Amino acid sequence: MLKKYFVRKLTEKDVNLVLSLQQQHPTYYKYCPPEPSIEGVLQQMKALPPKKEIKDKYFIGFFEKDKLVAIMDMIVEYPNKETIFIGLFMVNKEYAGQGIGKEIIEYCVLKFKQKGFSFVRLGYMKNNLQSEAFWRKCQFENVGIETNNNQGTVVVLERKL
């Protein structure tokens, strides 16, 4: 599974690759502003929820040769020790509609379970039907939590492993 992709942690050297991928997703940024920028990518690479440390954060890229196929931002043991939180997941538009996003999520879910986690949690911006449909297709379910952030209402989804 995913043998064709190389996975590695993204660094400041990758900021332009990440920015280019993010700029392909205007629908996402319609619901979750601001528009992508170099400063925004650099902030995402370091952003942490309360009581978490940088060692708990993984901002990773999935590559096919030198081509960035997808990005994922995740925090381990958040909001509790049994859970991994996905803060961002995006697929390069060139690979969209081919099932690659779902394939990557299924691969990650398997790895999370092998590492001993019981849940994967994430949030999507309410009314972003594209995001909601993708995550539901990946077997994530609404846990009944909605919270407001600076951009709007976040709906929390979770998948039991």
Rounded mean pLDDT, 39-62: 96
- Reduced to 3 states, what is the DSSP secondary structure of residue 43? helix
- Residue 4 has what pLDDT? 83
- 147 in helix, strand or coil? strand
Helix%, strand%, coil% for the chain, nearest 5: 35, 35, 30
Instruction: Give the percent of the chain with pLDDT over 90.
Output: 88
Terminal CA-CA length for the chain: 18
| Average per-residue pLDDT for the chain | 95
pLDDT (tens digit, 9 = 90+) per residue, 84-141? 999 999 999 999 889 999 999 999 999 999 999 999 999 999 999 999 999 999 999 9
How far apart, in whole angstroms, are the C-alpha atoms of residue 52 and residue 77?
9
Segments making up each domain of the chain, as ranges? 6-160
CATH no. for 6-160: 3.40.630.30
